[in-house]
Each structure stands twice: as structure tokens, then as C-alpha cells.
Amino acid sequence: MRLVVLGATGSIGRQTLEVAKALGIRVVGISVHTRVDAALKIAREFGIEVVAVTGLECVKPTALENVKLVTGERTVEQLVKLTAPDTVVVAVPGIAGLDAVLQAYPYVRRLCLANKESVVVGGRYLKRLLRDAGVEVLPVDSEHSAVLQLLEAARPVKVILTASGGALRDLSLEELENATVSQVLAHPNWQMGAKVTVDSATMVNKGLELFEAMWFFNLAPHQVDAAICRDSFVHAAVVFEDGVVKFHAGFPDMRVPIAYALTKPDRRWKGRVPELVGRSITFEPVPFDRYPAFALAKEILRERDTLKVGYCVADEVAVDAFLKGKIRFGEIYRMIEKVVESVEAADLDSWEEIEEALEATQRISKDVMRRWK
């Protein structure tokens, strides 16, 4: 297998490289945003000949020695054309992941998505493109990887994603309002990037994953839900019409779903096997007063596409502001709610419509941010 990793220096990118090394998968190219030094180190370790730098106008060619450096316009497309990979892992964070997917998909057979926003924003347009191109699309998120493995020919009546509840799950509602960045980033179960760790604390990530589950598995709004599993031992459950419930469980380790996405249908990763005797498994409902952003996501499951785009864009703006100390933790949700309320509802069936929706929601989000307080 020839593998390209987009977003190679992020949490998922680094773990993908670790999995590839352990399984003997050849990494032929990577992309980074600005971390050229880190790219050089990876290129040396893996013998990579092509590196794309997406966030710089120009980089001195000597910076990567004998590695071919790709910069400028459509860097991801240049990268995949030069390397001809079988599989591409999209670990680019945020809405920028959609552009990476659109540049890469015509040149690969298997696309492994570790990016929720590309699916939510791309919607039916992206699904149509990937289907028509004959590209196999696999989820890297642990919850959606679990659902993929649980589904058989029978259609489920419901899919339940699990959530840890994030770092603030035991704070009082009063304490939540002014939770600090360091408190929010101290996730109890997973090691993730800052943005997704904040999204875990607000449970925006679970809202996005409901949208994502509908997209991946062709589910209706009433067929997706979430529950809290504090130790993240159960990743998802699938309910069938005959009353059977199937769980996908295991230690929280992102290398497991990454490896499965790369090697499906084989299971080549060697992970820790849990001892089941004496282990208790408990699920809790998601309290909407503690996680109003998740409640909002459930409200707009049935709504038109632009509201989901607004949810994504507003969250990126609000989380960035929180991490920079410009707003309180409790204000993240209120900013998202304000933006979603301001978005004109419409469905998106073309790239032009998606671009217009992104521009409109970014403008609304920035305007809300400017007027905040």
C-alpha cells in the first residue's frame, strides 16, 4: 500500500504514521500546514520524497534537503498526483479538511476521513462526488469506525454514539461558565488536539458526529443519538429491530480505528486485550443543561444544510476566541446559537452553494464575535 497522510503533524496524523510504521505500510507523502521542521524529521524517518506545505507562500527548497517540496496553489492535489497513493488519510483539522478532500479524492481508491467538518459541510454534494468517483470512504473517528464494524446486512433502528463527557463533566453548572483553558484541555481519556478537546467539553464534537453518522450510514435523524460512557470503553452501540443491541468496546486508543481504516477488512493492529471479568459498563443520558451545544445539534438534525454549516463555522470562531482568552467557556455555546439563529435556511447541492454558505456563515460569525459583550 502507498499511503499519503494529510495533516501529518497533528494528533491523528502522528498516530497514523505510528500505525503505518508498525504495520509496514509505505508512506509516500505528507502534508503539513506550517511545521516545516517537523515535516523534515518525518521525511527523514520514513524516507518520504514529497512534502506539501499548505500554509506558506514559499519555503526555501534547501529546507527539506532532497525532499521535493510542494507549495502554492492546490498543494494537496500536487502531492497526490506526484505520489500516486492507494490510500489517503485526511487528518487536516476543521473546515479546511473539506478542501483537502476535494483536492485528493480523484486520485485515490480509499479515503480515510478523520475530519468531521468536511462531511458536515460537504454534505450530499461531497457524497455524490465520492460515489461517482468510486472512492471507498472510511471513517477514522472511533465511534463511526465502531458503527461500521457493527453493521451487517440488517438495517439498524438506531445508532448510539458514546461520549466521555469531556474534562468538565463533573463541574457544577455555575463553575462551567468560567472554566479555564487548562481545565478544558485536561481530557480524562483521550489525547487530542486543542480544538477537538474543547469540542469534547462542549460536546459540539458529538453533535458533529451525529451529522457525520447520518452521512456515512444513510441514517434518518431519529436513528442517531448519543450516551455518556465515562471511561470511553464502549465506542458505539447499534440497535436492531429484533431487540438485539451490539456494542463495540475496547480501550480508548485512536490507533485502533486508524489501523482498521487502513487495513479493512483485515485486523493487523496488535492492541491490548481488556479483561472483561469484573468490569462494569454504565451509560448515562446526555444532560442538555450541561451540554446545550449538543442539544442544539439535535434540534437542527432535521433542518436544512446551511444551519449545520453555521454550527461548524461558529464553533471554529468561538473555540479560537476561547483559547485566546477572548470569551468565557460558557459563551462558546451562546455564540454558536446566535450564529445558527442568524443563518438563512437552505439546502446545498453544489460547490458554488457551499462556498456561498461558508462565506455567509463566516461573515455572520465574525460579526457576532465583533459585537459580543
CB 15 within 8 A of CB 91: no
Work out the widest C-alpha separation in the chain, in whole angstroms. 63
Query: How much is the pTM?
Result: 0.89
d(C-alpha 48, C-alpha 25), whole Å: 12
In degrees rounded to 5, what are phi and psi of residue 49? -100, -20
Supply the pLDDT for residue 334. 95
Contact 202, 332 (CB under 8 A): yes
The rounded average pLDDT for each run of 10 residues, N- to C-terminus, in the chain (373 residues) is 95 95 96 90 92 75 70 93 96 93 96 94 95 96 92 84 87 88 81 85 94 96 95 94 92 94 93 91 95 97 96 96 93 96 96 96 94 75
Residues whose CB falls within 8 Å of the CB of residue 186, separated by 6 or more in sequence, listed in order: 167
Q: Fill in the DSSP letter of residue 345.
A: P
Task: Look at the block and give the residue holding cell 473517528.
Answer: 141
C-alpha grid cell, residue 174: 455555575
What Cα–Cα distance (Å) separates residue 75 from each residue in 4, 29, 30, 147, 151? 13, 12, 11, 33, 36
Q: Which domains does the chain have, with CATH numbers?
A: 2-140 (3.40.50.720), 143-252+274-294 (no CATH), 303-373 (1.10.1740.10)
State the Cα torsion 50-56-60-62 to the nearest 10°: -30
State the pLDDT at residue 62.
47
Asked whether the beta carbons of 295 and 316 are under 8 A apart, the reply is no
DSSP string, 262-300: HHTT------PPPP-TT-----B---TTT-HHHHHHHHT
| Sequence-separated (6 or more) residues with CB below 8 Å from residue 286 | 163, 203, 206, 226, 227, 228, 294
SS3 of 213, please? helix
C-alpha to C-alpha distance for 339 and 106, rounded to whole angstroms:
34
